[in-house]
Structure 1
Amino acid sequence: MATLYPLKFKTIFKDKIWGGEKIRTYLGKDFSPLPNCGETWEVSGVKSDVSVVQNGPLEGQTLAALLETHQEELVGKKVYERFGNEFPLLIKFIDANEDLSIQVHPNDELARKRHNSFGKTEMWYILQADAGASLIAGFNQPLDQEIYLEKFNSGHLTDILNKEEAKAGDVFFLPAGRVHTIGKGLLIAEIQQTSDITYRIYDFDRVDDKGNKRELHTEEALAAIDYNFYPEYKSLYKEKLNEPVEVVTCPYFTTNILEYTESVSRDYTTKDSFVIHVCVAGSYTLLYGEESLKVSMGDCILIPASINRVTLHAQKGFKILESYI
């Protein structure tokens, strides 16, 4: 059985009606075969799109096969006891050349009941934003299902949605149940539960190249929506150079931002979890034992739970999202 090491996976490209060019031009993934690449899946255990190892002796093996073989050595004892042979996180990049549909995701309980699936709690990190770009997260006023349906049925749904300007570096945490959409002009790194269940509420009456509108899930969404009003939807944090900053912690993942102009060692001994690095700026060399791996912007690296200590050797500086369970 091959020894585990930091893993990089083959990018899975997704064609979307609202996709654009930034996956290629900004992230440098110029091997995309798609003219409208809206998403890439970088680390995925979703059964229809399981990631395949790109680097090292395990090249060609699937994440699912590695998990079955290595179990807690790959993901950690507590994580394996909780999730078994289902990898619990999905890592994406999303390029919105047009507004995405207004949508909502079910929580664990509803997703299990309806789809035998995890729910979908997620977070967004804004990598790049065109001038004036915005997104929707939650409601802008207190309401209940009755008021929601009144606005929806009268064609005034957008009147009750919370619209936020978005710029590079912004973080939005989106627990399951929060109505949301990514707006035109945003390039986003997304960390989420392993789930591909989306209830599409409204799609701006768009049609595909055959003149067909996309399916809506109006009724399904009603039981999934969190109708509560919250005073703040953006995750407020203070940027710190050469010091980790925790930006999201929830039952499904914790994410830190590490922005460094110098080398740093990370000790994961107490985590009992795999760790994922999403490089959102710059580059570094990941040192582990006697080995090393070059990491550049747009790379996503899965560090197995069996590797307790790594060093991130900075050339000119880097910024990463560091996530674990």
Structure 2
Amino acid sequence: MKKAMAALILFLIETLLFYLYEMPLEAWAYSSVFILLIFGGWIILDEVQQRKKYKQLKNIQKEAEVYLETEHFGKPENAVEKEYQNLAEMLGRQWENARQEARCQISEANRYYIRWSHQIKTPIAALRLLLEEEEPDRAAMEGEIYRIEQYVEFALQYQRLEGGHKDLVFAHYSLESIVKKALKKTGVLFCRTKLALELGNLQTDVLTDEKWLVFVLEQVLTNAVKYTRKGKISIYLDPEKEKTLVVEDTGMGIRPEDLPRIFEWGYTGYNGRIKNRATGIGLALCRQTMEMLGHRISAKSEPGKGTCIYLDLAVDPVRDY
């Protein structure tokens, strides 16, 4: 369009000059034809180039797997085209990064559900065997049912964390009340193992989401019971750190080489391989949940003497969660 306007303006200027200087009509005609041929060819060539670029863009759109780079568009003719190409390349990189991230998330979810599917078969099989006995052990059955419920809760919490449906409700809650709710859920485990439970002074309030923190405590208590054959499990506030809850057991402890990795996805460590019941999921979910709440989780352990899990519940009330 701009080229056509330029041709028209030049034609009018040429006509005006010929008229003012009273030049022969034949010379004006030859000059006009020459201008029209030059500009016509220019316009046609430009149209061919634009159609070529249009086809290139359509081909790139059809082949969505193409990683956008400037060479796909050809050499830019001006600064504006160059900036558009830079913008397209930037968007292409963002799209590629998002695609790779989505692939990683899907792959991670697939690995999680494959592991989860294998793990949930164990309590189901154990429950079936118990049902075949003449006098089923009710306590053992309740324990296996609890494990199934826990695995189902894992799946639900994983979906909420990964899907962004975190429905957080932050408020000030009694820590003692939260601990008792977690103990009520895990009570069946304590009944089976006959472990002693020692509660320290928990008279404090914490700013948190009650539902999610109960889930974390439930998993920490389950692990403490799982790896403790005899002795006790103690729950108390760390005297040196304000609002840091400690869950301490007298179990088998964790090897020093495993300790830094116990909160990683899928990591079971030496104890998990011995017990053959570890999923490498529970503590990873705890870490992710605590980070979402603005809290921190850590561990100290000594093989043969037990483990301490620290839940640092101090949180800034104005934190952008």
Normalising by structure 1, we get a TM-score of 0.20
Higher Rg:
2
Bigger strand share:
1
Larger helix percent? 2
| Superposition TM-score, scaled by structure 2 size | 0.21
